[in-house]
Chains A and B, each alone.
Chain A
Amino acid sequence: MIEHLPVILITVPILSALLILLLGWHDRRFCYPITLATILFQFVGGIALLIEVMRQGTIHYHIGGWAPPLGIEFVIDTFNGYILPIILFLAVAAAVYARRSVENEIEPEKIVSFYVLFQLLVTGLVGMTITGDIFNLYVFLEISSIAAYTLIASTRRPRACVAALNYLILGSIAGGFVLLGIGNLYVATGTLNMADIARLLPASYGLATVHTAFLLLVIGFSIKVALFPLHLWLPDAYTEAPSAVTVLISTVMAKVSVYAMFRVVFSVFTTAYFVETVPVTELILLIAAVAIVAGAVLAIAQDDLKRMLAYSSVSQIGYIVFALGVANQVALEGGLLHILGHAVMKGCLFMVAGVIIYRLGTSRFSDLKGVAATMPVTCATFALAGASMIGVPPTIGFASKYYLVMGALEAGYWVYAAVLLAGSLLAVGYIWRFIEVAYFSASSHHEDGGDHCPAPAVREAPLSMLVPMVVLGFLCLLLGIFVEPIMEIVSPAVSLLLGGA
């Protein structure tokens, strides 16, 4: 059983998606428990795989018993063994959060298809994480993308359709680029297995085909992770999507895209190619630095909480890609830690935004004045996760940024280290805006009385939305305090990426 776990993590959820569709026809209430149970099962499986990897080393699973390079294999090493439980934990949190939020935001007859797509999105992302075959990566990428386009458009608001169409067009261009890049790699090496490509590629490092493949893949994944100049789909998509979907795509999907980028750059092309043969690290660093600053500045300029958090994502993605540009042990440890940290804190912050929309129906700053008086737990959680976003010790955000700055200094990038710190300062700017509006502005509800709904209608959200939010909020703190055990997983993962150990 345990040796078949990698493939079970993909097949069981696909079957369960069909089951949801089947039973949902009969009675809508079946959908939610099945989704939650399946994602919980995947989470437990992800933990089991991580323990197995830490104990016995990399797991290779050959689908159908066909040995690679002809067959497709799933590979779980310390890197994706580390990513897998993170994304599945956040998927569980998003699923718990989804129930009440979905009842509020999505028309009842669409709930069945919502959960089917939710399940398929998570499954596609898990597939992207564990696959060892580069074409398989593309297939799972498209499965998750198509599910995401549809989920974004599933609210009542018609603007969501426009956002989803924008994302669909840009996402498909990204998919096309990735596909072309894979084609070029296939021409250069004649294989699609990642380990096999990495083994055969050094012979053709000088070929234009390989350079083209590298560019196409990096640009394709840059659109997917919304790296700064290619982020245009992100703010609309995050703002217009239903709250639960925003939580899922801003944490799980964004992190898996980053994972895929790291995997392709480090495990397929390896540092020998992109640091020594074609030195692009300087360029990546520059783009990441611009992303950090521009994302944060744009975030400050927004007048809507959810949209502000979306731009903050653009900035934080810059931090993670920055680690890729520095490409030394310490900075990459920071980058991988930031994948965890940003997933937890941004998940928490978007949950806060969702809770506020659930109760107030809006997330515009002008309508949120004095909201802390009526929703104290929600706003306190925001402050906690916000502190982590800024990087206040001892939160996880501090730990990851500390490693990033140390890595940049070790590599001699003094100016870029300053940019990282400036990004944190700008984060104070946008986090503080909500704090100020929520805590230090007089509530508009009490003063003009007339056309606004009276205060008693506004209270804390239902427990099933509050609990995952508060748990994630405290995790920001706890993970930051107990960062040592995590580093024991992260360090070997980074050594693996850099090709040592």
Chain B
Amino acid sequence: MEAVFEVFLSHYNYWMAIILIMIGFYALIAKGNLVKKLIGLNIFQTAIFLFYISLAEVEGGIAPIYLPEGMEAVYVNPIPHVLILTAIVVGVSVTAVGLALIVRIYEEYGVIDEAGLLKVVKRR
């Protein structure tokens, strides 16, 4: 038991990411409302972003900005930050497209939840 707890504590950033991913997944699968599904997708993506950012952390590290001569510092790893900057843009675009689609679905069918949508689509 102690060992399990130890593993949990020493890797708690990963556990947090996993928990958040599962929350996002739950919303994606179990929620009927399309907007809530999209929120679930956002939680899922954000959890991945946090996973990346936590990888970059170095104890006592500062933002990787070039310091003047003679000053020493420990930097955090900037590469995951840069990667996630790109991934955030992707996430925003996907959310925008998704919301636009939901708006059109609502305009056409007047419903926004999955069960209602299935019924309406089948009837036409």
Contact partner, A158, options B51, B52, B98, B109, Cβ 8 Å: B109
Residues of chain B lying within 8 A (CB to CB) of residue A150: 97
Q: What separation, in Å, do the CA atoms of A159 and B118 have in the docked complex? A: 11
Decide yes or no whether B58 CB sits under 8 A from chain A: no
**Could you say which interface size class chain A belongs to?**
20 to 34
B48 touches A153 (CB 8 A): no
A186 touches B104 (CB 8 A): no
State how many angstroms separate the Cβ of A169 from the closest Cβ of chain B: 6
Residues of chain A lying within 8 A (CB to CB) of residue B94: 142, 146, 149, 168, 172, 175
A161 touches B104 (CB 8 A): yes
Contact partner, A179, options B28, B48, B97, B121, Cβ 8 Å: B48
Q: A146-B94, A146-B97 are in contact. Are A165 and B48 (CB under 8 A)?
A: no
Decide yes or no whether B83 CB sits under 8 A from chain A: yes
Q: A146-B94, A165-B34, A172-B45 are in contact. Are A180 and B51 (CB under 8 A)?
A: yes
Decide yes or no whether B87 CB sits under 8 A from chain A: yes
Contact indicator per residue, chain A 168-197, by CB within 8 Å of chain B (1) or not (0): 110011011001100100110000100000
Q: What separation, in Å, do the CA atoms of A169 and B45 have in the docked complex? A: 12
Contact indicator per residue, chain B 42-85, by CB within 8 Å of chain A (1) or not (0): 00110010011001000000000000000000000001100100
B51 touches A173 (CB 8 A): no
Decide yes or no whether A114 CB sits under 8 A from chain B: no
Can you list 24 pairs linking A and B with CB atoms under 8 Å apart? A135-B83, A139-B86, A142-B90, A142-B94, A146-B90, A146-B93, A146-B97, A153-B104, A158-B104, A158-B105, A161-B104, A165-B34, A165-B101, A165-B105, A169-B28, A169-B37, A172-B44, A172-B94, A173-B44, A175-B90, A179-B48, A183-B48, A183-B51, A183-B80
B104 touches A183 (CB 8 A): no
**Could you say which interface size class chain B belongs to?**
20 to 34
Q: What separation, in Å, do the CA atoms of A110 and B58 have in the docked complex? A: 49
Residues of B contacting A: mostly: helix
Contact partner, B121, options A142, A159, A173, Cβ 8 Å: A159
**B86 — nearest CB in chain A belongs to which residue?**
A139
The 6 closest A-B pairs by CB, nearest first: A158-B108, A142-B90, A165-B101, A161-B104, A161-B105, A161-B101
B86 touches A180 (CB 8 A): no
State how many angstroms separate the Cβ of B35 from the closest Cβ of chain A: 11
Contact partner, B102, options A139, A165, A180, A183, Cβ 8 Å: A165
**B17 — nearest CB in chain A belongs to which residue?**
A180
A187 touches B55 (CB 8 A): yes
Decide yes or no whether A164 CB sits under 8 A from chain B: yes
